[in-house]
Amino acid sequence: MVNVSWNDAKAFCEWLSKKEKKTYRLPTEAEWEYACRAGTTTRYSSGDDPETLAKVGNVADATAKAKFPDWTWTIKASDGYVYTSPVGSFQPNAFGLYDMHGNAWQWCADWCGRDSYAKSPVDDPSGPTTGSLRVLRGGCWNYNAGFCRSADRNGITPGNRLYDLGFRVSRVPAD
C-alpha cells in the first residue's frame, strides 16, 4: 500500500489491533534496521554491491532507465519493474522478510532527529520524543541504491501522502 501518511499508518495499526485483539504498531527505527539487516553488517542485506539489490528489492534500475533514459542514478541490473512491484516479488532476507529495500519508503514510529543516535542508548533506542518529521526507511523504486541501504534514514512530516510512502506493521508479543 502506498500513498499513506504516517497518521494513516498509525490509524491502521490501531484498527488492526482492535480487530485482531492483539497489539500492532509501526516498528521503531532501530527495530526496522535490525529487521532489514537480518544479521548482516553490509550496506544491504544482500551484500555491499548495489547490483545485488535487483534480487531483493525494487530500486531505480535498468528497467526504470529504459522508461526514464535521463536518470543517471540507476543500477545496471534489472528487477523487472518500472514503478512499484507487488509485495513479495523478490527474495526475502535471512529473517524471511520481504521488500526491506526499495519499492516504497516505510514509515517508522520514531520522530526524526538528525543527532538522535549520538544521544540515544545503544540497546533498543526509541528516538526523540518530539519533532516535526517522522522517520522513513528502505528507499523506494525511483531512488538510487544509496537511499536503499540498511542504514539510510530519511524524514518527512507525518501528514504527507505520496506515491512512494508505505509502511509495515510490527506485532507486539503477548505478555
Query: Which domain CATH number covers 51?
Result: 3.90.1580.10
Q: What is the pLDDT of residues 118-136, one digit of tens each?
A: 676 677 777 788 899 999 9
Q: Point out which residues pair with 44 in neighbouring strands.
A: 47
Cell 528507499 belongs to 139
From 122, 134, 74, select the one nearest 102 (Cα to Cα).
74
What is the C-alpha to C-alpha distance for residues 103 and 88, in angstroms, rounded to an integer? 11
Whether residue 37 is contained in a domain is answered as: yes
Whether residue 96 is contained in a domain is answered as: yes
Q: Report the pLDDT value the prediction gives residue 117, as an integer from 0 to 100.
A: 65
Scanning 113-156, the segments in alpha helix (DSSP H) are 116-119
Whether residue 12 is contained in a domain is answered as: yes
Whether residue 1 is contained in a domain is answered as: no
Q: Report the pLDDT value the prediction gives residue 118, as an integer from 0 to 100.
A: 67
Range of the domain at 160: 6-172
Scanning the chain, the segments in alpha helix (DSSP H) are 6-20, 29-37, 53-56, 62-67, 116-119
Give the three-class secondary structure for 21.
coil
**All cell numbers assigned to 127:** 528516538
- Walk along the chain (175 residues) and give the pLDDT tens digit of each residue: 899 999 999 999 999 999 999 999 999 999 999 999 999 999 999 999 999 999 999 999 999 999 999 999 999 999 999 999 999 999 999 999 999 999 999 999 999 987 766 676 677 777 788 899 999 999 999 999 999 999 999 999 999 999 999 999 999 998 7
* Rounded (10°) CA dihedral 47, 45, 121, 133: 110
Whether residue 59 is contained in a domain is answered as: yes
Q: Report the pLDDT value the prediction gives residue 104, as an integer from 0 to 100.
A: 97
Q: In total, how many domains does the chain have?
A: 1
Whether residue 28 is contained in a domain is answered as: yes
Q: Are 81 and 97 in contact (CB under 8 A)?
A: no
